[in-house]
Amino acid sequence: MNDKYDSLLLKNQLCFPLYAVSKEIISMYKPYLDPLGLTYTQYITMMVLWEHDNIMVKTLGERLFLDSGTLTPVLKKLEAHNYITRKRGTENERNVYINLTQVGLALKDKALEVPKQIAQCLDISPDDAKKLYKILYKILD
Amino acid sequence: MNDKYDSLLLKNQLCFPLYAVSKEIISMYKPYLDPLGLTYTQYITMMVLWEHDNIMVKTLGERLFLDSGTLTPVLKKLEAHNYITRKRGTENERNVYINLTQVGLALKDKALEVPKQIAQCLDISPDDAKKLYKILYKILD
DNA sequence: CTCACTATAATTGCATACAATCTAATTGTG
DNA sequence: CACAATTAGATTGTATGCAATTATAGTGAG
């Protein structure tokens, strides 16, 4: 009923459903983010900036669990869209500060619809959502 | 205490911790998969094949939630490593069947260590793990 | 039987992710 | 002060992921 290879069955993995659900939910964002001209990664980047403007790339990376190798190209695209600006710090030339433009700030109001739409698509009970959230942050910390 | 933009706070998202935890755990696999010459995507592909050999790319894609655009390059790499073979079906030329080589099959024994090591690194209670697993599969189905 | 339709992979283009390396700036130490 | 060590970003290389398109092979309605 149980052999030595059971631990290698896909259905006995915890990481795989995490990976699959993560991708599936991110793909649900696409139709709602496309009108805003944002990808999912760009969206969560904007979310951090909407909460706290004028932050360093390093801080952004810590909040999003992303390194400069990922963030630099993302930020350059957001800058090309005129949603943000990138400026070297005067006190310390190593630091790059990200700031929202008027356009980027204005996008916040349009983005309000996104979480609403996703909540409707996502078929999960409030109880499960709460449990899931808690367990995930327990792992992250 | 509560403003109209609360729904856009990173900490109020359910998808973000899913995405972050998924990435963090996948990165934990790297030191254990490197000696096997596998990436995480290649590893879960091999897991499906270890469970059921001689399956079509389409079936593999359904199990892994990946499309041919992702799988074709992954499978070509596994073929280049001599872990698998790819053969067009004789009954239906559209189908491509994937089979393990002797080397690929032998890798299964070495891979047995991987889930053991990951379980040790992953600091999560059995109860939380069970809850998490159930909720994730509820979403996937 | 034929031709539109469908199905399966492969290909192409774009956007991440991350390891490793590099550059420039800053800091700590003797 | 001099200089090794550290830090912040950028760059490079490799490997996904996914949408859209293409190529080829089967299928089915008339």
**Chain A interface disruption, residue of B12, B139, B141, most A CBs within 10 A:** B139
The answer as to whether A3 is a domain residue is no
Report residue B34 as tokens.
Answer: 């490197």
Report residue B71 as tokens.
Answer: 């799988």
Is the separation of the CB atoms in B13 and A9 below 8 Å? no
pLDDT at B9 over 80: yes
| Bases on strand C under 7 Å from any protein CB | 7-13, 15-20, 24-27
Q: How are beta strands A96-100 and A84-88 bridged, if at all?
A: antiparallel
- pLDDT tier at B141 (50, 70, 90 boundaries)? confident
- pLDDT tier at B86 (50, 70, 90 boundaries)? very high
What distance in Å separates residue A101's CA from the closest CA in chain B? 18
Contact B13 A48 (CB under 8 A): no
Q: What is the pLDDT of residue B2?
A: 77
Q: How far is the CA of A135 from the C1' of D17 (A)?
A: 26
Spatial CA neighbour of B47 closest among B58, B62, B63, B35: B63
pLDDT at A141 over 90: no
User: How many domains, chain A?
Assistant: 1
The answer as to whether A133 is a domain residue is no
The answer as to whether B6 is a domain residue is no
The answer as to whether A130 is a domain residue is no
Is the separation of the CB atoms in A18 and B137 below 8 Å? no
Contact B112 A14 (CB under 8 A): no
Q: Which residue of B has its CA nearest to A60?
A: B10
- pLDDT tier at A47 (50, 70, 90 boundaries)? very high
Convert the pLDDT of each residue in A67-101 to its tens digit.
Answer: 999 999 999 999 999 999 999 999 999 999 999 99
Contact B22 A24 (CB under 8 A): no
Q: What is the 3-state secondary structure (H, E, C) of chain A?
A: CCCCCHHHCHHHCCHHHHHHHHHHHHHHHHHHHHHHCCCHHHHHHHHHHHHCCCEEHHHHHHHHCCCHHHHHHHHHHHHHCCCEEEEECCCCCCCEEEEECHHHHHHHHHHCHHHHHHHHHCCCCHHHHHHHHHHHHHHHC
The answer as to whether A129 is a domain residue is no
Q: What is the mean pLDDT of residues B43-54?
A: 97
**Chain A interface disruption, residue of B11, B22, B108, B120, most A CBs within 10 A:** B22
Convert the pLDDT of each residue in B90-133 to its tens digit.
Answer: 999 999 999 999 999 999 999 999 999 999 999 899 999 999 99
Domain assignment of residue A44, given as a range: 37-110
Report the distance separating Cα B18 and Cα A78, nearest Å.
24
pLDDT at A60 over 90: yes
Is the separation of the CB atoms in B71 and B49 below 8 Å? no
For the four alpha carbons of B15, B19, B21 and B25, in that order, the dihedral sign comes to positive
Report residue A10 as tokens.
Answer: 């896909």
> What DSSP line would sit under B9-31, residue for residue?
SGGG-SHHHHHHHHHHHHHHHHH
- Bridge partners, residue A88, by sequence: A96
Nucleotide lying nearest to B93, CA to C1' measure: D25
The answer as to whether A22 is a domain residue is no
The answer as to whether B3 is a domain residue is no
The answer as to whether B9 is a domain residue is no
Q: What is the pLDDT of residue A123?
A: 87
Give the Cα-Cα-Cα angle A121, A126, A132 (nearest 5 degrees).
95
| Strand D close to B40 by CB, under 7 A | yes
Q: Output the domain CATH number for residue A78.
A: 1.10.10.10
